[in-house]
Amino acid sequence: MKLALHWKIIIGMLVGIIIGIVCKYFSLDHLVIQWIKPFGTIFINLLKLIAIPLILASLIKGVSDLHDINKFKSMGLWTFSIYIATTVFAVCIGLVLVNIIKPGNIVDPQVINDLSANFADSMTGKIQEANDTQSTGPLQFLIDMVPDNIFAAASSNGNMLKVIFFSVFFGIALLLIDNNSAKPVKDFINGLNDVIMKMVDIIMLFAPFAVFALLSSLIVETPDASLFIALLWYMLTVIIGLALVLISYGFYIYFFAGKKPLWFYKGIFPAQLLAFSTSSSAATLPVTMERLEEHLGVEKEVTSFVCPLGATINMDGTSLYQAVAAVFICEALQFPLTFSDQLTIVLTATLASIGSAAVPGAGLIMLVVVLESLGLPASKMAIGLSLIFAVDRPLDMLRTVINVTGDAMVTIIIGKKFNKLKTPQTKNWDDNLKEVS
Ligand code: ASP
């Protein structure tokens, strides 16, 4: 019997966790780090390797297939508005929960002392990193979006917005030139696009082994479990919030796309598993797009634009986490917050999540921006960050799942709105293999 991919991935994850625990118990950490972890890293590299060519090829194809620039404008506006609305909603859920549960009042002062003694020094670098990332003026983000050299921009996965800008620009120009000149370019882009989607299929064959490697190395590298217990209420607040956001997506799918929530959750499940294992929406992007196109039936005109944009700017999980973490830190360090401070959090957590890179740990770095806007002194900032640093990775894994699912949910709603949600034509990695053999 042929086991579905998501089952293979789940088995890989479980075996990884078990092997990780066993190796940690017998102090065999070095074996896992030296001999198993590299396969996880190679897998993430492979996914990242195709992210930029994927955006280039699929976005140019998507825009040039639209046949109408006005449609693109309206799609952009809708996408952006829904992304912002869902992010603000996620921040509000986080704020309501953290104000009800008040995890900052439950944490033991001794834990704060211990953690700040251990980690405060290493946090200064993160605060600096966040300050470097902060824009130098209100329009800096626009400057950052327009590349001065496409080859330079395409040489780093951190430049996704620049690549998106170039591809949209190129696609629009391709729409505007006469058909004879456009055809060979379009044919080339179409072919390129198919090749890259096939590469995603092939890479996914290794996913079960890769998640095994990623999770077993993560387990041997996690700090003492007692920390998780000390920060249990903080973690629970974030987790409950993320679960509520996840459930809300089902409602959106039902009411705005007229589809069953289970259809959606099932279709996107493999991408969620990868988001969990890699903690990176950027690395998961190729799989998110593949699932939406080939398994949920959204057409490329929509996925090619909505997904890469979402991976870069739409992070509902991260924004919720930043809101909870900011209030938790202020409470634990006895830094009182007013109602208007909470409103500031709605604004800054939304912006900070937009500014967070789609890579592991980025949300924690941009949390500095939220804390600074609240006026938390620098000395307390390092203590605050060190307080949540040790348990950040598991929360990062979970919030990345929500980030990716949120992008997928909006893609489906936009697909429905623009009549681009059809019956999927599933493609397998080995289609055509026989002929080639
Ligand atoms: N790891 C998250 C992502 O890639 C970002 C974060 O919250 O750290 O989506």
Report the distance separating Cα 183 and Cα 233, nearest Å.
59
Give the number of the atom of ligand 1 that is nearest the alpha carbon of residue 282: 4
426 lies in some domain:
no
150: domain CATH number? 1.10.3860.10
Q: Would the CB of 407 count as within 6 Å of ligand 1?
A: no
DSSP string of 340-395, one letter each residue? HHHHHHHHHHHHHHHHS-SSTTHHHHHHHHHHHHTT--HHHHHHHHHHHHTTHHHH
207 Cα–ligand 1 center, Å: 20
Q: Would the CB of 405 count as within 6 Å of ligand 1?
A: no
Report the distance separating Cα 63 and Cα 58, nearest Å.
9
Report the distance separating Cα 208 and Cα 246, nearest Å.
24
CA proximity to 353, closest of 389, 317, 393, 390: 317
Q: Would the CB of 279 count as within 6 Å of ligand 1?
A: yes
313 lies in some domain:
yes
Residue 297 neighbours by CB distance under 10 Å: 18
Q: Would the CB of 358 count as within 6 Å of ligand 1?
A: yes
435 lies in some domain:
no
**367, 326 Cβ separation under 8 angstroms:** yes
3-state SS, residue 421: strand
**428, 198 Cβ separation under 8 angstroms:** no
The CA–CA distances, whole Å, from 357 to 28, 161, 192, 365 equal 33, 11, 27, 10
403 lies in some domain:
yes
Per-residue pLDDT tens digits of the chain, which is 437 residues long: 578 888 899 999 999 999 999 998 898 989 999 999 999 999 989 988 988 898 898 888 888 887 777 888 899 999 999 999 999 999 999 999 999 999 988 877 777 777 776 666 667 776 766 666 665 666 777 788 899 999 999 888 778 889 989 998 998 899 889 989 999 999 999 899 889 888 988 998 899 999 999 999 988 887 666 677 778 899 999 999 999 999 999 999 999 999 999 999 999 999 999 999 999 999 999 999 999 999 999 998 899 889 999 998 899 999 999 999 999 999 988 898 999 999 999 999 998 888 788 888 888 888 988 998 899 888 788 888 888 887 888 999 999 999 999 999 999 999 999 999 988 777 776 677 677 66
Q: Would the CB of 337 count as within 6 Å of ligand 1?
A: no
**86, 316 Cβ separation under 8 angstroms:** yes
Q: Would the CB of 318 count as within 6 Å of ligand 1?
A: yes
Return the best residue to mutate from 356, 366, 388, 404 for the ligand 1 pocket (most ligand atoms within 8 A of CB): 356
**216, 16 Cβ separation under 8 angstroms:** yes
Q: Would the CB of 400 count as within 6 Å of ligand 1?
A: yes
Q: Give the orientation angle of helix 300-313 with respect to helix 160-176, to 10 degrees.
A: 150
433 lies in some domain:
no
Can you give the residue range of the structural domain that contains 71? 5-138+145-421
357 Cα–ligand 1 center, Å: 7
Using a CB cutoff of 8 Å and minimum separation of 24, what contacts does 117-121 make?
118/386, 119/385, 119/386, 119/389, 119/390, 120/382, 120/383, 120/386, 121/382
176 lies in some domain:
yes
Give the number of the atom of ligand 1 that is nearest the alpha carbon of residue 356: 5
134 lies in some domain:
yes
Give the number of the atom of ligand 1 that is nearest the alpha carbon of residue 280: 4
Q: Which tokens go with 137?
A: 């003026």
430 lies in some domain:
no
Report the distance separating Cα 307 and Cα 183, nearest Å.
26
Q: What one-letter code names the amino acid at 115?
A: L
Helix, strand and coil in the chain, % to nearest 5: 80, 0, 20
414 Cα–ligand 1 center, Å: 23
3-state SS, residue 238: helix
Q: Count the domains in the chain.
A: 1
Residue 205, phi then psi, degrees to nearest 5 = -60, -30
Report the distance separating Cα 243 and Cα 254, nearest Å.
17
Which residues, 6+ apart, have CB-to-CB distance to 200 below 8 Å? 50, 54, 286, 287, 289, 290
3-state SS, residue 257: helix
